[in-house]
Chain A
Amino acid sequence: MLTASDASAWESAPAQVREEYFDAHRAFERAVAGRGTTVVGAALADADTATTLRHGPAGGLTVTDGPFVELAEQIGGFYLVDLPDLDAAVAAAALLPASYAVEIRPVIEIEGYEPA
């Protein structure tokens, strides 16, 4: 699950609002634990600290300051969870802070790939 939100809202949030965010995340984690497991989760530093790397068409490497795309909403964090189905994922994601947009994407196995 990728969470997207307006980073500046968090910066200016008073302590009480931040506590509500923490509560929401804990509610989410408890809901996931009830039906499955949280493999990993992390908050990401602001998108203005991002570094983006691209290989040019001629083979040159470009490293630029900033995220893939400049948007008001940026990926602010992610959870890798193991849940039985999409309905369980939606029910858990609904508990995250209301200011988040949450993108749910399945994790897949790439056929033929063997880890090093």
Chain B
Amino acid sequence: MTPDEALSAVVREEWGRLVSLLLAQFRRLDLVEDALGDAVEAAARTWPRDGTPDRPAAWLMTAARRRVLDRLRAEAMAARKEPLLLVDAHGTGPAAMADPGDLVGDDVLRLVLMCCHPALAPDVASALALRLVVGVPTADIARLFLVPEPTMAARLTRGKRKIVTAGIPFGVPDASALPERLEVVAQVAYLAFTAGYAPGTGPDLLRADLSGEAVRLVRVTLALRPGEPVLQALLALLLLQHSRRDARVGGDGRLVLLPDQDRSRWQHDEVAEALDLLERMPATGLSAQTASYRLQAVVAAEHATAATASDTRWDRICAHYAALVALNPSPAVRLAAAVAVAERDGPEAGLLALADLDDALPHSHRLPAVRGELFARAGEPAAAVEALDIAITRCRNDVEREHLTRRRAELAGSRE
């Protein structure tokens, strides 16, 4: 691994842990993320020259801690020079922790609970947790939320300001307040998983370590609250998606679509665990969010249990999607439902189901990609190429774009 690769690996894998360790020590979110950012910059400068340190995460931690201490010292000096300026007694002191740390031993989860505080708007909370806990770049978070990057950067800044100014604690809430916070945590974990499962930008088709981190967060939370339906349903869903990670990329680094995947390369122990979770959880009396996770998991379970692609029970999948659309008619759900309809009733039915989605998904590459594929199946290569051209322009993931480009070339060739 080159120093650059080592640095991006440690940033990706250890970001949340570093943020939470620094927060546990200094309680200053305003300083911690900047200090960590400075440490990463310093590493980018010095590691190529001096070589990657033996313990890269510890190196970043030490560098970041030194920067926080420098800032605190500078603040203390400024306070001494201006005696008339009021200094908040417990702003920098070792404030008592809201929880003794024995209820939840996981620093990262404590950080998640801070980011998922109900005093933060859900979209702000999710964005913060992705940035601070999972270290997802702002550009990718923006893509997940379908907003421009500057909008997302402003949202993150606003969220951090709210945490610091309003005094949102870095700790675990009272046991009575925990259940209602778990639904927000579930949303955050789900979004974090998606960032790894289908990264919006960059060279990787998937970042399994990131998805794995989201799975780990759900596991830790579920261990704390066993039998919590929202966490059971979410863990089942994430495990089923995650179980396909090795089959989704071919040996040549190319995207392998679900019907073409080598099903023996799926993680069947994870599939079994997910099926068991689904079996043990109730199917009714669930919150809307839990029911939505459960239905998505049930769809994924249909795929996971089909021996071959042609054995897939699209009739049952369409029924699950109909229930899901009734519950949550979001554009992404309707797009997935349209794909299922196309599989059951043919490409023309699928194209019809896609017809009114363009306004809701003006930046999505998946909508024109699906449309292109359905036009191809319907025997309309010219329309297919046209749709794929739009998809290629919009797609910002290298592997997916390469797949779309190859598919377009095949279709353009077949027209001659």
Give Cα distance in the complex from A89 to B95, angstroms.
16
A84 touching B90 by the CB < 8 A rule? yes
Give Cα distance in the complex from A91 to B173, angstroms.
11
Give Cα distance in the complex from A114 to B98, angstroms.
33
Q: Is the interface of A mostly helix, strand, loop or mixed?
A: loop
Note all chain B residues with C-beta closer than 8 A to A85: 98, 167-169, 171
Report the stretch among B28-36, B80-88, B208-216, B377-385 that lies at the interface. B80-88
Note all chain B residues with C-beta closer than 8 A to A91: 174
B: contact size bracket: 10 to 19
Number of A interface residues at 8 Å Cβ cutoff, please give it.
14
Interface status of A39 (Cβ within 8 A of chain B): no
Please, which residue of chain B has its CB at the minimum distance from the CB of A115?
A: B84
A86 touching B168 by the CB < 8 A rule? yes
Note all chain A residues with C-beta closer than 8 A to B88: 109
Interface status of B414 (Cβ within 8 A of chain A): no
Interface status of B287 (Cβ within 8 A of chain A): no
Interface status of B309 (Cβ within 8 A of chain A): no
Note all chain B residues with C-beta closer than 8 A to A109: 85-86, 88
Note all chain A residues with C-beta closer than 8 A to B96: 84
B169 touching A86 by the CB < 8 A rule? yes
Give Cα distance in the complex from A89 to B169, angstroms.
11
A87 touching B84 by the CB < 8 A rule? no
Give Cα distance in the complex from A103 to B86, angstroms.
25
Residues 61-113 of B contacting A (Cβ, < 8 Å): 84-86, 88, 90, 95-96, 98
Interface status of B166 (Cβ within 8 A of chain A): yes
Note all chain A residues with C-beta closer than 8 A to B166: 86, 104, 106
CB distance from B114 to the nearest CB of A (A): 10
CB distance from B284 to the nearest CB of A (A): 32
Interface membership of chain B positions 138-176, coded 1 if the CB is closer than 8 angstroms to chain A and 0 otherwise:
000000000000000000000000000111110101100
Give Cα distance in the complex from A91 to B167, angstroms.
13
Note all chain B residues with C-beta closer than 8 A to A89: 167
Note all chain B residues with C-beta closer than 8 A to A40: none
Across the interface, A86 reaches (CB within 8 A) one of B90, B117, B174, namely: B117
B167 touching A106 by the CB < 8 A rule? yes
A residues with a Cβ closer than 8 A to B are 83-87, 89-91, 104, 106, 108-109, 114-115
Contacts beyond the supplied A84-B167, A109-B86, A114-B84: 6 A-B pairs with Cβ under 8 Å: A84-B96, A85-B168, A85-B169, A87-B174, A104-B166, A108-B165
| 10 A-B residue pairings within 8 Å (CB atoms) | A84-B90, A85-B98, A86-B117, A86-B168, A87-B173, A90-B119, A91-B174, A106-B165, A106-B166, A115-B84
